[in-house]
Amino acid sequence: MKINYQETTNDLLTRIDIHNKYGGRNIDEWMLDLLKIQKGSKILDVACGAGKQVTSFYNHLAGNCDITGGDVNADLLSQARQSTTDNKIQAKFIDLNFNQKFPLDDNQFDLLSCCFAIYYSEDIPFTISEMHRVLKPGGRLFTSGPMPDNKKMFYDIIREATHKTIPPMPGSSRYGSEILSAIQARFSKVDVNIFENPLTFDSVEPFLSYTRASISEDRKLWNSIFDTHDDFEQVMKNIETVAKAWFARDGKLVMTKVVGGFVATK
């Protein structure tokens, strides 16, 4: 499956910030609680973005670990390097592309995490076999991603505002099905955990900022619902009108994230 997607630093950081401000729960705390990682672990965070999970692992283990983050996006990698240096976090960062052999030896890592990203792989079985290859025997893979009923309100508002079919998302359309099956086929044991996090917006603005940073033209995931920049702005205006009507009716907007956390053992 050809994936026409490009994350931008600004959009990613905007969405992370909105989760932090309006979410009822903290997903990294949930992940750490689930994984119970031992001090001294050797960890690889694939598709590390701006370094969110690298930072969480390092702080949780009080620096008693060996962490590498890898990503295909040079801008996000440089953001990750800068923010870890600023926060005195010791981590290595490498260029790593899901669609190519990882530049790493076999049987290296105790834990390999891949948060909100595996579904951007163009060849899921290949990427999973690379993840399996670099893990030590008995090592664990952790992935997170959207389950089918993730963010129902967000999609309902966009549908009502545009009268268009929502383009199939690389994540929610296959994470809980095709991707879970591929992990089960390669690993000896897989546990499925569900995390629900309601984001409660007490005004329309943060929901609109979240929407802009999700359907943004730069990310190239939603371009089937608008052609030009003016179209994009018109879609955003229509979304604002519908969101305001929902807000007037309900007194708040609640968008619930429904995330699957798969823990697989090699």
Interface stretch with ligand SAM, choices 93-101, 162-170, 201-209, 230-238 (CB under 6 A) = 93-101
- Give the shortest CB-248-to-ligand SAM separation in angstroms: 32
Q: Pairing mode, if any, of strands 109-115 and 135-146?
A: parallel
Contact criterion met (CB below 8 Å) for 64 and 90: no
Return d(Cα 248, Cα 145) in angstroms, integer.
31
User: Among residues 12, 141, 213, 259, which is the contact residue for ligand SAM, using CB under 6 A?
Assistant: 12
How many amino acids of this chain bind ligand SAM (CB under 6 A)?
20
Closest distance to ligand SAM from the beta carbon of 222 (Å): 14
- Applying CB under 6 A, does 7 fall inside the site for ligand SAM? yes
- Give the residue ranges of DSSP H helices in 23-151: 27-35, 52-60, 74-86, 124-134
Q: Is 257 in the site for ligand SAM (CB under 6 A)?
A: no
Residue 236 CB-density burial (10 A; 0-12 exposed, 13-18 middle, 19+ buried): middle
Write out the E strands in the chain. 42-46, 66-71, 92-95, 109-115, 135-146, 189-201, 253-265
Show contacts with ligand SAM in window 155-194 (CB under 6 A). none
Q: Please say whether the beta carbons of 140 and 263 come within 8 A.
A: yes
120 binds ligand SAM (CB under 6 A): yes
143 strand-pairing partners: 114, 262
- SS3 label, residue 111: strand
Q: How far is the CB of 51 from ligand SAM (least distance, A)?
A: 8
List alpha helices for 216-253, DSSP H.
229-250
Do residues 193 and 263 touch, judged by C-beta distance below 8 A? yes
For helices 152-162 and 204-215, the axis angle rounded to 10 degrees is: 80
Segment interacting with ligand SAM, rule: CB under 6 A, options 109-117, 158-166, 208-216, 250-258: 109-117
Secondary structure (H, E, C), 56-76: HHHHHCCCCCEEEEEECCHHH
The least distance separating ligand SAM from the CB of residue 72, rounded to whole angstroms, comes to: 4
Which residue lies nearer to ligand SAM by CB, 89 or 245? 89
Q: Decide if residue 119 touches ligand SAM (CB under 6 A).
A: no
Site for ligand SAM in 41-80 (CB under 6 A): 47-49, 52-53, 71-73, 76
Q: Is 261 in the site for ligand SAM (CB under 6 A)?
A: no
Draw the binding track, 215-254, toward ligand SAM (x: CB under 6 A; -: no contact). ----------------------------------------
Residue number, 41 or 53, with CB nearest to ligand SAM: 53
96 binds ligand SAM (CB under 6 A): yes
Residues found near ligand SAM in the complex (CB under 6 A): 7, 12, 16, 47-49, 52-53, 71-73, 76, 96-99, 115-117, 120
